Amino acid sequence: MKWNIVSDSSCDIFKLDNLGEDVEFSTVPFVMTIDGVDYVDDENINLDEMIDAMYASKNASLTACPSPETWYNEFSKEGYSCAVTITSSLSGSYNSAVAAKDMILEDNPDKKVLIVDSLSTGPSPILILKKLNELISEGLDFDEVSNKIKEYQKSVHTLFALSSFDNLVKNGRMNKMAGFVAHKLGLIGVGEATEKGTIGVKHICRGKKKALNSIINEIKNIGFSGKEVVITHCQNSELAETLKGIIEETWANISVSIHPTRGLCSFYAERFGLIIAF
């Protein structure tokens, strides 16, 4: 049986490596609108231009999630469909995908469609997508894949380190006072994706070294004993590499990968932001 894995563009990747036999991967884009200009989050997006426009704008910018029709087109492909979305607490993408599933089941009641709410963004969907591919490659049936990936999603944790919170605050994604304090004092906010998929600020740090120490301590406090960490960054490869090195020194036999953020996560993490999932 053919499998189609699809994610919205919160996943920060365009390609999923080592796809199993009869497995295809694709993404559907968000659209960021800044001063009337649309930036489609696909391979052709100019991130430098978008970020510069974002900082130059005095107006509130907007994001639009993939429409039900867009998801419907993906679910219409032959075979089983597995979708991963950004947290439903901060975006309508999950609900849009659910609406598309309802539409396609009306047309084809036997169609198998799985939708996973990552309750996060960036590197967390990457881990879920990789696990989906792994489970499918093991030859599990649709129901087994569905049950195991939902359990796996519950085990994934996400941390972030942001030096600017402007768009998160402007778009109602986080508390205005927390964003105001960090921004005005030039500090780095270290936080987490909560169990409900919202953003919670844990620490306000002065300087990169303290922020990295805070991240490592949070990973330890969670009791991490896994084998994989994914880091995504917005134009901050140097700090991402430094964090990778610390993680590899702290935990043995661990795989750490780094990816640049795509448009949506660049929009919200802003320049120099890091997002970490494990």
**pLDDT for residue 63:** 95
Q: What is the pLDDT of residues 221-252, one digit of tens each?
A: 999 988 999 999 999 999 999 999 999 999 99
Element (H, E) at 32: strand 31-34
Question: How many Å apart are CA 33 and CA 26, to the nearest integer?
Answer: 23
**Amino acid letter at 224?**
F
Instruction: Choose the most confident range, by mean pLDDT, from 8-22, 158-172, 192-206.
Output: 8-22
pLDDT, the chain, mean = 93
Q: Enumerate domains of the chain plus CATH numbers.
A: 3-30+65-155 (3.40.50.10440), 158-277 (3.30.1180.10)
State the average pLDDT over residues 193-210.
Answer: 90
Q: Which pTM value belongs to this model?
A: 0.93
> Please, is 206 exposed, middle or buried when counting C-beta atoms within 10 Å of its C-beta (0-12, 13-18, 19+)?
exposed
Residue 188 in contact with residue 214, Cβ under 8 Å?
A: no
Residue range 128-149: average pLDDT?
98
CB 119 within 8 A of CB 87: yes
Determine contact, residues 85/93, Cβ cutoff 8 Å. yes
Q: Which residue has the tokens 């998801």?
A: 71
Tell me: the pLDDT tens digits for 76-92?
999 999 999 999 999 99
- Of 82, 230, 85, residue with least CA distance to 158: 230
Which ranges constitute the DSSP H helices of the chain? Answer: 47-56, 68-75, 93-107, 123-137, 142-155, 166-170, 176-185, 208-222, 237-250, 263-269
Look at residue 95 and tell me whether its pLDDT is greater than 90: yes
